[in-house]
C-alpha cells in the first residue's frame, strides 16, 4: 500500500515537473522572441537616427520697424519741410533666412537670401573649405574683407542702433571671388588675416562705384585684405587695417582708372563690473583716380576722395539684477564726405538709442538720429530728424 502511494506520488511529481518544464520552456521562448524583436526594433531606430557627417540648419535674421522722419531742406536760405511716418522702409525691414550646410568638419556652405526694400536679393552665397587648422578658403559671392562693419556688425540683432552708419558699408561691397582667412595665436596676443581676390568694382558715370559684376569690366582683379591684431590675451581689443586695390574703369573707356581704399577699425568690449562697455569704430578712405582722355587727347585726371567714419559707444549693466540688466544705452557719431554721386560733400549724424534685450538674440530698440548734410551746391543744406522703433531677432 505504502509503495503504491509512493509510486503514485512519484508519477504525479514527474508529471508536474514535465508540465512545469514545458510551461517554463514555452514562457522562455515567448520572452526570447519579444526581446529579440525589441532589439531588432532598437537597432533599426539607431540606424535611422545615425547622425551621419552632414548637418543642415536655417539661421538668419528678421527686423521690423517704424520710422518717423522730418526732413528740412534749405536752399538759399529758404526752408521746406516734409514728414513721413512709415512701417517698413529699406533700413528697417529685413527678413533674411540664412541656409547653412556643413559637410563633416571640412565644408560649410552659406546662402542668405534677403527680402528688404521691397525686393528680394542675396546678401552672400559662398562655400568655405577648412583646409588646415588656421586656414579657411572660400569662394563664391562674398562680402569683401574691408573694415568690420559689413561682415560683422550690420545684422539688426547685432547692431546697437537702428540705422547703419552712412558710407561705411557702401565701401565694402559684395563681389564674386575667392578668399583666404584665419586666426593665428601669437604668444599672449592673437592676429587674423583675411584676403580676397574679386572681379572688382565698376566706375559709374556719376563717379561712384558699383559692384557685383559677373563679368569683369576690365579683367583686372581687385585685392582686398584685412589684418588685425588682438593685443590682449583676453581678446578685449581688436585693431584692424584693411586695403582694397584694383582698377575700376571699363576697359574700353577708362582702362587706367583705379580705386584704392583703406580702412582702420577698432573694437573694444570689456566688463567693468557691473557695466559691459562696448566701443566700435571704423574709418574708411576711398580714392578713385580716373584718367579720362579728353577730346583734344590730352589726359585729364579726375580724382574723387571720399571718407567715412563712425565711433560708437554702448553700455549695458550686465551685472545688475532685474530688468535693468537687459537695458543698453548706445550713441554714435558718423561723418561721410563724398563729392561723387548725390550724397553731398559734408554729412554727419548723431544717433542715440535705448535697447531692451528680450534675450541674447532678440532686441527692441528706440533710436533718435539727427543728420545734417550739405548737398553738393554749398547753398543747399539738409537736416533730417528721425525717430525709430525697431525689433530684431536672430532666426
Partner 1 sequence: MKMLKMKNISLLIVVLFFVTLLPLLMDSCKPSQKVAAKSGVQLWAENCQRCHNTPSPNTFSPEQWETIGMHMQTRALLTQSEREKIVAFLKQ
| Burial (Cβ within 10 Å: 0-12, 13-18, ≥19) of residue 48 | exposed
46 binds partner 1 (CB under 8 A): no
Q: Which does 323 bind (CB under 5 to 8 A by kind): partner 1, ligand HEC, none?
A: none
Q: Which does 227 bind (CB under 5 to 8 A by kind): partner 1, ligand HEC, none?
A: partner 1
Of the candidate spans 31-39, 89-97, 357-365, 369-377, the one that interacts with partner 1 by CB under 8 A turns out to be 357-365
Q: Which does 184 bind (CB under 5 to 8 A by kind): partner 1, ligand HEC, none?
A: partner 1
153 binds partner 1 (CB under 8 A): yes
Pairing state of beta strands 54-75 and 380-394? antiparallel
Q: Give me the least distance between CB of 130 and partner 1, in Å please.
A: 7
- Residue 305 belongs to what H/E stretch? strand 299-316
User: Do 215 and 236 touch, CB atoms closer than 8 A?
Assistant: no
The neighbour count for residue 58, using CB atoms within 10 Å, is: 9
194 binds partner 1 (CB under 8 A): yes
Q: Give me the least distance between CB of 261 and ligand HEC, in Å please.
A: 21
Pairing state of beta strands 380-394 and 189-198? unpaired
How distant, in Å, are the alpha carbons of 1, 63, 146, 247 from that of 172?
A: 114, 22, 5, 16
Q: Give me the least distance between CB of 38 and ligand HEC, in Å please.
A: 39
Q: Give φ, ψ of 361 to 5 degrees.
A: -125, 20
Of the candidate spans 76-84, 152-160, 162-170, 382-390, the one that interacts with ligand HEC by CB under 6 A turns out to be 152-160
Q: Give φ, ψ of 339 to 5 degrees.
A: -70, -20
Q: Which does 253 bind (CB under 5 to 8 A by kind): partner 1, ligand HEC, none?
A: none
Task: For the chain, report the end-to-end CA distance as a whole number of angstroms.
Answer: 93
Cell 568655405 sits on residue: 128
Between vectors from CA 229 to CA 224 and to CA 232, what angle results, nearest 5°? 160
Pairing state of beta strands 202-203 and 299-316? unpaired
Binders of ligand HEC among residues 45 to 74 (CB under 6 A) are 59
Of the candidate spans 77-85, 105-113, 372-380, 384-392, the one that interacts with partner 1 by CB under 8 A turns out to be 105-113
Of 43, 152, 305, 370, the residue at the interface with ligand HEC (CB under 6 A) is 152
* Closer of 372 and 394 to ligand HEC (Cβ): 394
Q: Which does 223 bind (CB under 5 to 8 A by kind): ligand HEC, partner 1, none?
A: none
DSSP, res 7: H
Q: Give me the least distance between CB of 241 and partner 1, in Å please.
A: 5
Q: Give me the least distance between CB of 319 and partner 1, in Å please.
A: 13
394 binds ligand HEC (CB under 6 A): yes
* Closer of 113 and 341 to ligand HEC (Cβ): 113
* Closer of 247 and 316 to ligand HEC (Cβ): 316
> What is the pattern of x (binds partner 1, CB under 8 A) and - over residues 298-337?
-----x-x--------------------------------
* Closer of 73 and 394 to ligand HEC (Cβ): 394
Q: Shortest CA distance to 188 belongs to which of 231, 228, 238?
A: 231
Coil, helix or strand for 393?
A: strand
Residues 262, 350: Cα–Cα separation, whole Å: 24
* 328 upstream amide cis, omega within 30 of 0: no
* 274 upstream amide cis, omega within 30 of 0: yes
Of 99, 125, 136, 155, the residue at the interface with ligand HEC (CB under 6 A) is 155
Residues 320, 148: Cα–Cα separation, whole Å: 30
Dihedral sign, Cα of residue 19, residue 24, residue 27, residue 32: negative
Q: Give me the least distance between CB of 300 and partner 1, in Å please.
A: 16
Tell me which residues touch partner 1 (CB under 8 A): 51, 55, 57, 59, 100, 102, 105, 108, 110, 128, 130, 133-134, 136, 138, 151-153, 155, 157-158, 181-194, 227-229, 233-236, 238, 241, 243, 260, 262, 264, 267, 269, 276, 285, 287, 303, 305, 357, 359-361
Residue ranges binding ligand HEC (CB under 6 A)? 59, 152, 155, 158, 394
Amino acid at each position: 500500500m505504502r509503495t503504491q502511494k509512493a509510486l503514485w506520488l512519484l508519477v504525479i511529481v514527474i508529471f508536474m515537473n514535465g508540465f512545469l518544464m514545458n510551461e517554463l520552456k514555452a514562457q522562455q521562448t515567448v520572452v526570447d522572441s519579444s526581446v529579440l524583436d525589441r532589439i531588432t526594433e532598437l537597432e533599426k531606430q539607431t540606424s535611422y537616427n545615425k547622425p551621419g557627417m552632414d548637418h543642415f540648419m536655417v539661421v538668419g535674421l528678421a527686423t521690423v520697424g517704424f520710422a518717423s522722419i522730418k526732413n528740412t531742406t534749405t536752399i538759399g536760405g529758404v526752408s521746406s519741410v516734409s514728414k513721413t511716418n512709415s512701417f517698413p522702409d529699406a533700413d528697417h525691414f529685413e527678413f533674411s533666412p540664412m541656409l547653412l550646410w556643413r559637410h563633416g568638419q571640412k565644408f560649410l556652405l552659406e546662402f542668405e537670401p534677403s527680402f528688404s526694400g521691397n525686393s528680394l536679393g542675396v546678401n552672400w552665397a559662398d562655400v568655405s573649405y577648412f583646409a588646415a587648422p588656421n586656414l579657411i578658403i572660400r569662394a563664391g559671392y562674398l562680402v569683401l574683407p574691408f573694415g568690420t562693419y559689413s561682415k560683422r556688425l550690420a545684422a539688426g540683432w547685432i547692431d546697437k542702433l537702428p540705422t547703419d552708419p552712412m558710407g561705411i558699408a557702401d565701401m565694402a561691397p559684395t563681389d564674386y571671388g575667392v578668399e583666404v582667412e584665419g586666426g593665428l595665436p601669437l604668444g599672449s596676443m592673437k592676429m587674423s588675416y583675411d584676403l580676397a581676390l574679386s572681379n572688382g568694382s565698376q566706375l559709374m558715370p556719376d563717379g561712384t562705384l558699383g559692384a557685383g559684376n559677373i563679368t569683369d569690366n576690365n579683367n583686372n582683379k581687385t585685392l582686398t585684405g584685412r589684418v588685425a591684431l588682438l593685443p590682449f590675451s583676453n581678446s578685449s581689443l581688436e585693431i584692424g587695417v584693411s586695403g582694397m586695390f584694383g582698377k575700376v574703369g571699363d576697359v574700353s573707356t577708362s582702362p587706367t582708372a583705379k580705386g584704392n581704399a583703406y580702412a582702420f577699425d577698432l573694437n573694444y568690449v570689456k566688463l567693468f563690473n557691473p557695466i559691459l562697455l562696448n566701443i566700435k569704430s571704423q574709418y574708411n578712405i576711398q580714392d578713385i583716380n580716373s584718367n579720362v582722355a579728353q577730346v583734344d587727347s590730352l589726359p585729364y585726371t579726375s580724382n574723387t576722395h571720399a571718407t567715412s567714419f563712425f565711433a560708437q559707444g554702448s553700455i549695458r549693466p550686465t551685472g545688475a539684477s532685474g530688468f535693468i540688466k537687459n537695458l543698453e544705452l548706445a550713441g554714435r557719431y558718423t561723418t561721410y564726405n563724398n563729392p561723387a554721386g548725390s550724397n553731398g560733400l559734408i554729412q554727419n549724424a548723431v544717433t542715440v538709442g535705448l535697447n531692451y534685450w528680450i534675450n541674447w538674440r532678440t532686441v527692441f530698440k528706440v533710436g533718435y538720429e539727427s543728420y545734417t548734410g550739405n548737398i553738393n551746391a554749398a547753398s543747399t543744406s539738409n537736416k533730417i530728424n528721425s525717430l525709430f522703433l525697431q525689433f530684431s531677432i536672430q532666426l
